[in-house]
Each structure stands twice: as structure tokens, then as C-alpha cells.
Structure 1
Amino acid sequence: MQEFNQHNAQFWQNYAKVLEFNSNYQNAYHAYQKALSLHSHATYKFDLAYLLMRMGTEDNFEEGKKFYESRLFYAHNETFSAYHYNKTMQIFNKNGIDAFKNKEILIFCEQGFGDTIMYSRCLEKICQIAQKVLFAPQSAMYEMFKNQIKFLNQSEKNFRNLKVLKTLPKKFDYAMPICSLPFFMDIKLTEISQLKTPIKAYKKPQNKIKKIGIFWFTPNAIDSETTRNFELNFLLDALLRLFLFKCKVIIHYQINIENRAKKIKNWNDTLNNLNDIDCMITIDNAIAHLSLALEIPTIVLLNQDLIGVVKI
């Protein structure tokens, strides 16, 4: 098939994905490069970026950061202003990270809730460089980030020059998407784990009877390419069987289920309802990112034909 598709970019893209899903990352990389040599398509660059940033080496990560900017090709309506992004890119290409010293920088969010939580740890790096950081999260996350920054600033100095905004400002020097911070802030792979997330649990739970949080369904996953949702009864039955297997004895059990969704209006409510959870079992979505940021032991369920469970 390779012989007869030497000039077919879509074939090489599909072949790269097959190799990637079979953990043949190096040959997947070469297949993506072949596809891009035939057609410099934003989708090919985006998929290659995901592969490179997951491969776990500094060189791959650096190359992946650059390709990851191709995602903005599909985000015209969410990118706030192509003019401001291009202005930021031009000054960065000219002066590098020094271009943002002593400047007011607007950080906006152009992707999902999970991406905002995941990349929010990169805010610490720009707070070290810029004079003032204006952070405009999604409106549903405004209260959570505002309260968290206020809480952290009581004892730490990492985010003292960061202001959480409810609406986009009119005055600033440069603007950049939060998911572009690793690129514009020149964040290295080894730095990521050292950066502090602005999301922190108020206190660790002291439950005598452990509380397990379960998040199993989101409407956004119904029509997605990857089915994320699980049936609640399936999960409860699986957990019960696992518990009985571990105990290896016949016991009397009682499951108390509390539906906390009725209490939740925004992400600040979600965070508060996770603070007393000992372990979180969740599908692959923003809840997983939030529970991990709160340092809650988290099990992420992958529902791709029920191929497996990944413990993080």
C-alpha cells in the first residue's frame, strides 16, 4: 500500500495514526512527516504535535510545541483576535521571551475546560516575566479561579501580579491563548512538573469512611469520535465486584449514593464538592484534570471499545 500511495497525503496520515495506536511512535513520526511533505495541512500538524508532546523527550516536546500552534487554524471564532495573536507572534519571533518583560499580557482561553485547567500551571511562568497578567478564563470558571488566586496569594507570591477577569479588557500590550503558553514562555518539558497550578485543595479529607467520587457521563461526548461515557450501573457493579474480590470474604454491604450534581452551578461549586473526596473515578474530561490538580488520587476510564483503564 505504501508503494502505491507515495503521493497520497491522506494515506500517510491514516497510516501514521495506525502506527501511533500500535505504539510504533518513531515510524508514526516519519509517516506524519511524509504526509506533511505532500500537504502541509493543519490537521496533520495538530496530530503530529500530540504525538511529539507525548513521546517524553525534550527535543520531541520542543518540536511539538511549534506544531501545536496549528490548532488555531480551526479556532478563528475562539481566538479572540487574530490581529493580537499575530502581533504577539511577531514580537516573539523577533525578541523571544524577553519581549514580554515588564508588559501587561492578556491570557485568554480558546479550548475546553480541561485544557484551561491543565495549562493553568503555565501561568506561573508568565507571572515571573510579565509586569501584569490579565487572565480571562471561561465565564463558568471565573469564580473558581478568582477564589483560588485570592486563597493562594494569602500565603504565596507566585501569582501576586495575576488578575482574574470576568470580561475581556480593552487595554493590554500583548495577548496569547493559554494553550500557547508553553510555546511563548519557552517552557521546557522538565519545567512542567515544577510549575505550580493555581488550583489547590483547601485541606485534605479526613474521612473515616472513604468517599469515592464518580463522574461517568457528559452530553458533549455523545456525538464525539471517541465515546467517553459509561453506564452508572456498570461502574457500580464493577466497583462492588472488585471490592468483594479484594476482601475475599462474604460481607454485608450498603452503598450510599449522593447525587451532588444538583448542587453544582459552576466550576467553583464543582471544586468545593471535590474537596472531601478520597478517590475520583472519572471519564476522560475536565473533571479528571481538576481532581488531579487538587491532588486527589484519580482513575481515568477510557471507553474506546472498553480497551482498558489507566491509573494516573
Structure 2
Amino acid sequence: MMGNPDAEKNEDAALYKWLAEADHLLRQNNPDAALTLYTRVLAQEPEHFDALVGCGRALKALKQYAFALAHFDYAVALQPGSMVGYHYRALVYHDTKRFDEAILDHQQALSLDPNSVFTTLNLANTLAEQDKFEQALGFYNHVIALSPGYAMAYNNRGNLYLDRGLIQQALQDYASAAALEPESPQFRWNQSLMHILLGEYAQGWPLFEAGMGIAGFARGLRKPSSKPEWLGQSEISGKRVLLYAEQGLGDTIQFCRYASLVAALGAQVILEVQPALVNLLQTLQPQHGGLPFEIVAQGDDFTDYDLHTPLMSLPMIFNTTVDSIPAETPYLYANQPQISSSMAAHAKRPRIGLVWSGSNTHHNDHRRSLALAQLMPLLQLPYEFHCLQKEIRPADAAELANVPGLTVHQQNIGDFTDTAALINAMDIIISVDTSVAHLAGAMGKPVWILLPFVPDYRWMLHRHDTPWYPQARLFRQADVGDWQAVVQDVCTSLQAIFPATSAF
């Protein structure tokens, strides 16, 4: 039988229309709808290369990485001479931390298109994640040579410089990116972090707000509300002001202290925080009188307020400098009845609370967290060690068998009131940069915070104390990735405070 040319043309036109619409939806950050249309194309033509790649991209955006890889594998098998499949598959490998495979795919894509700016940039990004500084720098420089007006290349090279502690070079690259794309808030955000890291708060906090504001790249973190936002522009006496958490748990614990400053302006303060913090923040009270704070949970659709403000905007609103940080601690407290009878008994040896890793979804977790095995020199000291982590990674769980002297409280930690009770029973908390470190600081407990070579912006540089938490002591890597020296420094410092021969 003869085919019907008109029907084939109509079918081709329909496929083209679906593909074009799917591509548009993907650009509009609607991967679910895009995936539906790409799948419709594949139902008609299972080996349609562009639809396979499109499905893979949509699935990557939805974090369905295994399915994304399956689509890219099929696409690469169908058209091994096209760089597109390798390019996008490399991005999935990067997101899943399969960096060696990502590099191979980037290299294969570049062998097919040596002047691809985007692939070269992504190869540099992957090399940077592996701390291959010189190689990454060479590729970033190559991208800038190929496309000197490409702002993201300067920004990402700035990130590389930052990871090596080359702060001024990072600042210069962020400024170049911002000059090339002054409408892009991401680059002002990165500039803000550098200024805050340097203790230049007067420059940093306004840039921080510009980067994270309603028009910024906050990715939906700012509260959608028909009610006015308050950023210090009006009197609030007699108003009900909702302060809401828009970032992480540690950020909420650190910046909820500003609620007292808002209350001092005559406002009734409501704090909207992550559900895991609701009970803990019931202990937060105005430091200079006023009505008790109301604490509500995110997701409860609380609407009984007049104005709303993100917690992270408060340092800018109150013109915070390093010297004017509201640093009075404690401002959060343990719920004493929650301490178990076994923990309430007097300890015969110093009690040390340990947190050696945070959430592995944190963008910088591979630099801020340790493996339990790296703490072995510390765990061999004659003290009583307690794990205060709610999450223990599989490799660390297996290692626990080799650390009989470490008491694990994982099953007893429901929310942060349980963590606070455990912290209260310790003599010192030793923690990497996590919410537990912030909680110990907010409770006024001695806390030793282990920091990577380049720390998060709030810890500044070089100093061994922090104005945010007067009882805290900072232990910093002297070289990238060198936790061994940090752990040894902690051991020496701990023995100086609690000599093994002294009575306790």
C-alpha cells in the first residue's frame, strides 16, 4: 500500500509542535508539563533523538536521575556522533557526584565540538568540585577567552578562587559578572557573601538583600503574601509582624535573636519556622519585655498578621555591623524534663557531644563534613563521647562497631527540643558547621566548630572566635581538605582543658 504523504506531514507537524512547546515549558521551569509532551512524541516515534534528550533534561530537573540517565544512554547509543547527549548526560553525572564519569562525557562532547562554551564551562565546574584547581582554572580562562562577555564564566571562576581562599580575586570576578549583567541578582548575592565573610557588613547586608529579594534569585524562598513586606521603612508599633524562616535550620536558630529587636519597636512578633523548630522556639522570649512571641509552623497557612519580614533581612534592617551583633546568649533553652535519668546522673568523665557530618544535600557538604573514622584520634581520649546527630550515614554506621565508647542517641532525637536537652547535658559540643553548632551557641554552651579551609560567610576569616556566639571557638583547616590537623588541634586543646589525670 502507498503511504499517505499528507498524513505523514501532519504527523511531523504535530511532533514538531509538541517538541517546540515542550522546549518552551522546560525553559519556563515547568519540567512536569514538558515531560508529558516529550513522552507524547516518544509514543509516536520511540527513537526520536530530540525527544529522548528532552525527556532526560526534564527528568534531571525533576531529580529523577536514574530515568534521566536511561534516556541519555539511549540517545547517545542512537547518535554517538552528536555532542548533545554527552553534554546533558555529564550534567546528570555531575549532579549525582559521579564526577569522573561527568568529566569523560564532557571531554567526549568537546571532542565533537571543541568550541562549545557551555560544555567547557561545565567541565571546569566539575573539575572545581574535585578541587582540581589548576585544571579548572585553565578551562575557565578558556571559556572567558572564547566568550569574554559571558558573566557566568566570571562568576564560576570567582567560586573557584573562593574555594582556594583567594578572596580578592573572587571579589573581582563577581564584580565583573555583576557589571556584565547588572540585572542579575545572583552576582550581587555572591558579592554580598564575600563582604560579609570579610566582616564588611555595611556593604554586605544590602547586597545580600538585593540578591535574595522579591526580584532576586531566591527561587521561591520569599513568602508569597498579599500583605505588605516590612524592611524597616515604616513604624510598626502596635502591628503584628510575621518573621518567617526562608532558609536553613541553622539560619533560623542564628537569626531568630532579632525577634527581640523587632519587639522592642512595639510590634507583636510572630515567628513562622520549620516544624522541627516550633517546640524549641517556644523558649525564645523578648529580652527587654513585651508580649511573648507567637510561634507557628511553616505550612500552616497562618494569616493573622499585618506585615511580614524574612528573618535573613533583619541584619540589614538593623544596620548590623560586626560590633553591633545582638550577641547576648543564651536566648534558646533546653526543656529540662526531657533529659533522661541516665543523662541527668553526674558524669565521672567530661561529656563531649559530637556532630561530624551534616545533611548530604547541602551544597558544600563534601567540604564541611567528616567521616567518623577521621575522628578516631579524638575518640581514643579518656572522655565520655555522645553522638548528637539525628542522621548517621551508612559508612559511619558501619564504623560505629569500632567505637564502643561513643554513645548514640539517634533513636531519642525527635525534634530540636531533644537535641537541646542533650546539648545541655554536655560539657563541650564539638561540631562541624551544622544547625547543632548554632543551637549550642544560642544556648550559651561551649561549642567548638570545625570549619573547612573556606568557611561559610558568617564565620569570617582567620579569627578563632565569632561575635555571633561568645562561647564558641573556631577550629579552621589550614589547607584545603586537611581535617587531620584540625582533629589533632582539637585533641590538644581538649586535653589542656581536661587533663586525663585530673579529677572531674
Counterpart in the other structure of 1:170: 303
Q: Is the 8 A contact 1:109 1:136 kept in 2?
A: yes
Residue 372 (structure 2) aligned to one of 228, 232, 251: 232
Counterpart in the other structure of 2:161: 19
Shift of 1:292: 1.6
Q: Trace 1:182-261 onto structure 2 (pairs within 5 A).
A: 182-194=315-327, 198-200=331-333, 207-218=347-358, 220-221=359-360, 224-227=363-366, 228-235=368-375, 237-240=376-379, 256-261=405-410
Inter-partner Cα distance in structure 2 for 1:129 and 1:160: 12
Shift of 1:71: 8.7
Higher RCO (CA-CA < 8 Å; seq separation 6+):
1
For normalisation by structure 2, the TM-score amounts to: 0.50
Q: Trace 1:95-134 onto structure 2 (pairs within 5 A).
A: 96-134=232-270
**Structure 2 residue 162 is matched with structure 1 residue 31:** no
Aligned length: 287
Q: Which blocks of at least 5 consecutive residues in structure 1 are unaligned?
A: 245-253
Shift of 1:75: 4.2
Inter-partner Cα distance in structure 1 for 2:278 and 2:433: 22
Larger Rg computed on CA atoms: 2
Residue 88 (structure 1) aligned to one of 229, 254, 271: 229
Q: Which blocks of at least 5 consecutive residues in structure 2 are unaligned?
A: 1-140, 337-343, 384-402, 454-479, 491-504
Residue 45 (structure 1) aligned to one of 181, 188, 194: 188
Residue 199 of structure 1 aligns to a residue whose secondary structure is: coil
Give the direction of change, closer, same or farther, for the CA distance of 1:193–1:157 in structure 2 (3 Å limit). Answer: closer
Q: Is the 8 A contact 1:75 1:110 kept in 2?
A: no
Shift of 1:232: 2.2
Inter-partner Cα distance in structure 2 for 1:128 and 1:200: 21
Deviation digits for residues 164-211 of structure 1 (CA, Å, limit 9, x no counterpart): 2244432221111111112234434422144556314689x9755210
Q: Which amino acid aligns with 2:161?
A: L
Give the direction of change, closer, same or farther, for the CA distance of 1:222–1:80 in structure 2 (3 Å limit). Answer: closer
RMSD of equivalent CA atoms = 3.3
Residue 191 of structure 2 aligns to a residue whose secondary structure is: helix
Residue 187 of structure 1 aligns to a residue whose secondary structure is: coil
Give the direction of change, closer, same or farther, for the CA distance of 1:141–1:20 in structure 2 (3 Å limit). Answer: same
Give the direction of change, closer, same or farther, for the CA distance of 1:68–1:160 in structure 2 (3 Å limit). Answer: farther
**Structure 2 residue 420 is matched with structure 1 residue 284:** no
Shift of 1:288: 1.2
Counterpart in the other structure of 1:300: 449
Shift of 1:9: 0.9
Residue 406 of structure 2 aligns to a residue whose secondary structure is: coil
Shift of 1:242: 6.8
Give the direction of change, closer, same or farther, for the CA distance of 1:129–1:222 in structure 2 (3 Å limit). Answer: closer
Deviation digits for residues 75-113 of structure 1 (CA, Å, limit 9, x no counterpart): 4544331544xx325xx4xxx444323321011111111
Inter-partner Cα distance in structure 2 for 1:273 and 1:72: 41
Q: Is the 8 A contact 1:52 1:61 kept in 2?
A: yes
Inter-partner Cα distance in structure 2 for 1:70 and 1:134: 21
